[in-house]
Structure 1
């Protein structure tokens, strides 16, 4: 098959069916239902082959719905779902998800770590036990962080070498406020663990000035991620529909393309698809429906 282009991070949601209090203020324009048919034309325009659908709130029921969707939505190749990592039966819950309709498309687990009051939440013994269960099931753990949580994430990564981690959204650096140096210093130690840690090139536009950002504002962050992790551990994600508040799907996709201009064609193909296939172990040879 042709080299795939994979959007490794997008969402669907219904604001009336979940915990979406954050869809207010400047995010109010995207407080509406977003589903597969809203995304399909964006994917077609950008030439996207397949996607990874990512959880939006702490709900096993949402994860079940997303997995069931993979049986009827042809472009969703994987789901990053949610489980309560602190629950004593977390391993059983993951097993149940894998056994439910579409369960073979469960590729990872995520939690809104940056919303936890404790910046060391990832260091809690019950959380570590949950992370070990994720590793035991052969899944990825997506790290949804801000720079505040990076030290705890680094400790977790070092303690769990058998678990594949993906840092979402560059760990949300303060692009708007000129936070490059502080962010880069916190990210640097992860390079020692890139055998099992990847960085998702997503979510950057919403950390920049929504009205005035340009590819030049984002390029230093993309370049640093590539330097630390290499193209074989960097993967593209749209963060749609969140990206709509800061320019939309195609504007971010094209901007990332500009930032990747200096890469060799094989390395560019890794970032835009190959890495996602490898890290999430996506099966793109069998149809989803």
Structure 2
């Protein structure tokens, strides 16, 4: 089974995509399963993981409705408000949906870099452990240390790091690379987290395989194929590359790995993590 472990469908007219620039022709338009079906078939993608893009419970309900009507959507990563302990009731309700996997707080968009360490949001991590739900860790390299704190505190939390923690490839320097690489190694060595091999092209202006290669090879080294899962981040990837461009780049970057390792990255790891 080949799985796209990270993609989005959305409808901007719903009005809760606060991050979305409404003058951006690529992003600010509806995206539905019919827009991706032919591309999935072209690349032999059997199933996808649909991930939230709005910080509302209504977004989660919207995505579950899409999943109910779409054979290709195998799992949904939604959202609850970690600042509202009463939202545990949403988790307890949603977990009974066969395609609800877990949640993703949009930590990259929260101004307080230490937000995840606040006492009043710890119930959220605890609830995910109690209810055996997944946690998509969305952040930037500046969040690496705090994610390490959280993931070593909640050792049973089923965590996947989104978009390789968004290394700042466009501003590549020895310092920025080392900060990211050391932080990712610490997460790989000290926690059970897996990582999405996704989002790299949108962190690199005018990307090339050679610009992406040191980041990819570091991930292969520290996480290994059984803890890496490929994701398109479509349609966001289209800011820098088409779906085809990125999957072909990812296939080129993994071409030196054994076939069993590539099978894990392009399906097996996601299948195990999201229990598809």
Please list, as runs of the form range in 1=range in 2, the aligned pairs for 1:133-148 lying within 5 A after superposition: 133-148=127-142
- Runs of 5+ consecutive residues of structure 1 not aligned to the other structure: 283-289
Please tell me whether residue 42 in structure 1 is matched to residue 39 in structure 2: yes
Q: For 1:98-126, what per-residue CA distance to the aligned partner results, in whole angstroms no more than 9, with x for missing partners?
A: 34xxx111112101101111111111122
Q: For 1:155-214, what per-residue CA distance to the aligned partner results, in whole angstroms no more than 9, with x for missing partners?
A: 0000001111111001111111113222112222112234x20110111100001xx311
SS of the equivalent of 1:30 reads coil
Distance in 1 (CA, whole Å) between partners of 2:80 and 2:21 is: 26
Query: What is the CA RMSD across the aligned residues, in angstroms?
Result: 1.4
Answer whether contact 1:190 1:228 (CA < 8 A) is retained.
Answer: no
Answer whether contact 2:201 2:246 (CA < 8 A) is retained.
Answer: yes
What displacement does 1:243 show? Answer: 0.6
The equivalent of 2:90 in structure 1 is: 93
Distance in 1 (CA, whole Å) between partners of 2:61 and 2:223 is: 32
The equivalent of 2:195 in structure 1 is: 199
SS of the equivalent of 2:103 reads strand
Please list, as runs of the form range in 1=range in 2, the aligned pairs for 1:182-261 lying within 5 A after superposition: 182-194=179-191, 196-209=192-205, 212-261=206-255
RCO higher in 1 or 2 (8 Å CA, sep ≥ 6)?
A: 1
Answer whether contact 2:22 2:28 (CA < 8 A) is retained.
Answer: no
What displacement does 1:26 show? Answer: 8.3
The equivalent of 1:285 in structure 2 is: none
Please list, as runs of the form range in 1=range in 2, the aligned pairs for 1:23-42 lying within 5 A after superposition: 23-24=20-21, 27-42=24-39
Answer whether contact 1:199 1:234 (CA < 8 A) is retained.
Answer: yes
Instruction: Identify which of 142, 154, 169 aligns with 2:163.
Output: 169
Aligned pair count reads 273
Distance in 2 (CA, whole Å) between partners of 1:22 and 1:115 is: 8
Distance in 1 (CA, whole Å) between partners of 2:188 and 2:199 is: 20
Distance in 2 (CA, whole Å) between partners of 1:124 and 1:199 is: 24
Change (3 A) 1:23 1:89: closer
- Runs of 5+ consecutive residues of structure 2 not aligned to the other structure: none
Normalised TM-score (structure 2): 0.95
Q: Which stretches of structure 1, 4 residues or longer, exceed 4 Å deviation after superposition?
A: none
Answer whether contact 2:16 2:56 (CA < 8 A) is retained.
Answer: no
Please tell me whether residue 275 in structure 1 is matched to residue 266 in structure 2: no
SS of the equivalent of 1:51 reads strand
